[in-house]
A and B are shown apart, each in its own frame.
Chain A
Amino acid sequence: MASSFDVIVLGGGPAGYICAIRSAQLGISTAVVEQEKLGGVCVNIGCIPTKALLHSAYIASLLKESRDFGVEVSGVKTDYGVAMKRSRRVSDQNSKGVEFLMKKHKITVIKGTGVAQPGKKVKVGSDVHEAKKAVVIATGSRVKGIPQIGLEINKTTVISSDEALLLERVPDSLAIIGAGAVGMEFADIFQAFGVKVTLIEALPRILPIEDAEASDVLTKSYRKRGIDVIAGAKVTKATVGKDKVTLDVEAGGEKKQVTAAAVLMAAGRAVNTENIGLKECGIQLTDHGFIKVDKNLQTTAPGYYAIGDVAGPPMLAHKGFREGAVVAEFIAGQKPYPIKYDNVPSVTYCHPEVASIGLTEDQCKEKKLDYVAGKFPFSANGRARGTGETDGFVKILRDKKYGEILGAHIVGAHASEMIHELAVARENEYTVEEIDLAIHAHPTMSEAIGEAALDSLGRVLHI
């Protein structure tokens, strides 16, 4: 059965389902084509289940130290299978939540794999649906292996996050390749569940896109917990056995072998641009393989838009959310406020958390900006001392002349929640003075933000 809609969205992940909801709000009839569960990678095999597992890991770590807090617990055992099942329930609830939202907004969900066709049509199975206004491509991305060195994902000894999220039992040892957000989070989770973790990063430091000082804190924290962190490392060869993998690693001029029961590939993602009819519709890709879009997220084929991971970096759910909403408004004839891609927060939910917005200090130096770094450590923050979460800091990079917040970096417990004060500030072009003028409640972790602002002005109070 074929039908006609104003807008057809390919993909029911964060970008796609928000685009559908916003379209529906604007009175546009909308269909979403999804081959798996609604909510996409984020809800089902990404953001949401990992946050559930990270909380399990946090509880496990907390209990190990609970004696210091006057709470003695004996016989603490961890069971990854139980934690995994809980994380699945959380994911399923969220996916059902998206289903509910589709119904609430009277959005048609078409199950199957959509293929775009010329003339603003989308073929799902044998049905061809017509989009009167636009086809929006939001097909997302997937994990990728490194077949060149023998690390093709085989789902047993060479796994991706997809498999890691569904393990009944943890392996004895795990080598994680890639220390971006995914690698960092899984290292944190598996270490807490008793796995011997080796974290291997090709770039000179873990969390390479974050500020170098954030990497330093995390390297120290991970090593203290027993995670073997190898940065600036090149995996030259992988020998994949039946129940183990041996990696030849070169780091700092030294060669060594890392053997683990499994390898988790966390070295980037590939976009889903194949077999969805892009070429036939005249939709071009960039040199990096993303769909080429203009400032309104329209592809090289008029009437076809791309949002989310396929439309380019940063490949983050919240960037996809915003693109989904903006495209819906544009298709509806509105003039949406343009997205500020330099003001997308970046968050890694490892312990301690890392959250940032804007430029890193190294980027300020590269751009030869005249800046002042203001920094405040949580070790000097009353609330952090109370909870024993004194690792980390707040760092604000202030433009020397005008006080513009060029970048902000938080490492510490709850950093993911605290970064938004700085996101609001940057979005509204507040300077460090406005950050200071806003009264921060005491005692809170957020006070460190006010103090970092003051430090950038040479007026820090608590150190």
Chain B
Amino acid sequence: MATKVHMEALSPTMEEGRLVKWTKHEGDPVKSGDTLAEVETDKAVMELVARADGQLLKVMVPEGTTVPVGNVVAWIGKPGEKVDGDGAGAPAPKSQRSAVSGAREDKPAPAPPSASPRAAPSIPANPSPPIAPADATRVKASPLAKRLAKDAGVDLKLIQGSGPGGRVIKRDVEAAPTASAATASAAQAPAVPRTADRAPRTGVPYEDVPLTQIRKTIAKRLAASIGPIPHFFLTTEIDMERAVEAREALNQQLGEAGGKISFNDIIIKAVALALVQHRACNAWFQDDHIRYWNEVHIGMAVAIEDGLITPVIRNADQKNLREIGAESRELAGRARNRRLKPDEYTGATFSVSNLGMFDIDQFTAVINPPEAGIVAIGSIVAKAIPDGDRVVVRRRLRLTMSCDHRVIDGATGAVFLKTLKQMLENPLAMLL
């Protein structure tokens, strides 16, 4: 019977390995101890060696794929021996665009606890063999274009083919990264197709999208320009008149039942809901890929005696204002008393920093990596605002978003802010 080759834990903390290169290929004879593949672990590139003699019968995961420890990556056996070619029975490898759950211990911000019970097996993954991916038949593309696209991380389905009958050919793939560079908005970039989609809640907490070449270049060049995280800032002024009214009405309704709603709670809720619509901003920069979160966990900057800490409101988009209010007060209280547990201040997907109570009109906040954005909230100030021919007094809020340019482009941040502004200017929209 053929022997399975598993992804092995090549370092003590390794939970998954990226298969960098197969050094043996299907059909090659292998001896126990032979190097089969190079695997990139959380620490270094290591060698995966054969534990059996025979022939490398089948390679289950293509190069570039990240595979959880324990998954079958290949089969060794006698020439001609049949193996379970579809990988049934083997936990599905994580293909480049499929999502997984699970945390990485070595990351500064572990995944939220809610994610861990949901383990990998439910994911319908496609263990694409190295040549001719399973869904290849549905994309009209030349074999060469398919290979180039796989390597470049380009989704063939999103490319307009220029070959006969719209077939995607080499030059279309080669032109693809340039085409995405030309469009300023990440929402239109073919290489990161679904980032701007409304985040699907399928039980999968996030989706890892490998960095495309253009994204890598942006990351490198902007980082070189202004430090490890290339920040840029977007400021908008928001009319809070209706939010003020809504808050008053809601608090009146709550009466003495307690648990008053603060502006901070409304802003957290609005940010969370806007992030659901703009997944491109709800992301972590992860060096070689971007992790687009389907879940929304808002970090809330709290000043403490000797510094600052950001407790996390988990799944803030799915909580009502009372829940958010209660949770934030409770977390802030324990933060000041230094009673927060590590998992209560890690794992945020986006942050909010509010200095409104200190009469700050406007400021810029520094991004908390690996998050890609943070909004800085100034105080709500009554201002004279032109309204047609008249001047009216309106309560206004200046809000500044800091963006990690490796993840978020100007237009991407701007459309997110537009949604956020709409929600705060019309709080009823949050009920939609």
Contacts and interface: CB of A to CB of B under 8 A. Distances in A.
Given A429-B169, A433-B131, A403 B144 contact: yes
A118 to B, nearest CB: 36
A429 B142 contact: yes
A428 B147 contact: no
A429 B131 contact: no
A403 B147 contact: yes
Give the contact-size bracket for chain A: 10 to 19
B164 A429 contact: no
Contacts of B143: 428-431, 433-434
Interface in B134-188: 142-145, 147-148, 151, 164, 169-170
B142 A402 contact: no
Interface string A174-197: 000000000000000000000000
Nearest to B142: A429
A169 to B, nearest CB: 52
Contacts of B170: 404, 429
Contacts of A433: 131, 143
Among B131, B142, B143, B151, the one with the most A-chain Cβ atoms within 10 Å of its Cβ is: B143
B164 A431 contact: no
Contacts of A429: 142-145, 169-170
A459 interface: yes
A337 interface: yes
B164 A402 contact: no
Interface residues of B, number: 12
A454 to B, nearest CB: 11
B144 A337 contact: no
B151 A402 contact: yes
Contacts of B164: 337
A198 B366 CA distance: 82
Nearest to B130: A433
B228 interface: no
Among B144, B145, B151, B164, the one with the most A-chain Cβ atoms within 10 Å of its Cβ is: B144
Main secondary structure of the interface of B (DSSP, over half): helix
A110 to B, nearest CB: 36
B27 interface: yes
A430 B131 contact: no
Contacts of A431: 143-144, 147
Contacts of A401: 151
Contacts, number: 28
A428 B131 CA distance: 17
B179 to A, nearest CB: 19
A336 to B, nearest CB: 11
A433 B164 CA distance: 22
Interface in B78-115: none
B27 A459 contact: yes
B148 A402 contact: yes
A341 B148 CA distance: 22
Nearest to B145: A429
A171 B359 CA distance: 108
A402 B27 contact: no
Nearest to A457: B25
A430 B144 CA distance: 6
A377 B222 CA distance: 54
B144 A402 contact: yes
A459 B25 CA distance: 11
A337 B171 CA distance: 14
A402 B150 CA distance: 10
A406 to B, nearest CB: 11
Contacts of B169: 429
Contact of A428 (B27, B142, B148, B151): B142
Given A337-B164, A459-B27, A430 B142 contact: yes
A428 B169 CA distance: 8
Interface in B275-329: none
Interface in A418-443: 428-431, 433-434
21 contacts: A337-B164, A401-B151, A402-B144, A402-B147, A402-B151, A403-B144, A404-B144, A404-B170, A428-B142, A428-B143, A429-B142, A429-B143, A429-B144, A429-B169, A430-B144, A431-B143, A431-B144, A431-B147, A433-B131, A434-B143, A459-B27
Interface of B: 27, 131, 142-145, 147-148, 151, 164, 169-170
Given A402-B144, A430-B142, A433-B131, 11 more contacts: A403-B144, A404-B170, A429-B142, A429-B143, A429-B144, A429-B145, A429-B169, A431-B143, A431-B147, A433-B143, A434-B143
- Which 8 pairs, one residue from A and one from B, show the smallest C-beta to C-beta distance? A429-B142, A429-B144, A402-B147, A404-B144, A431-B143, A430-B143, A434-B143, A431-B144
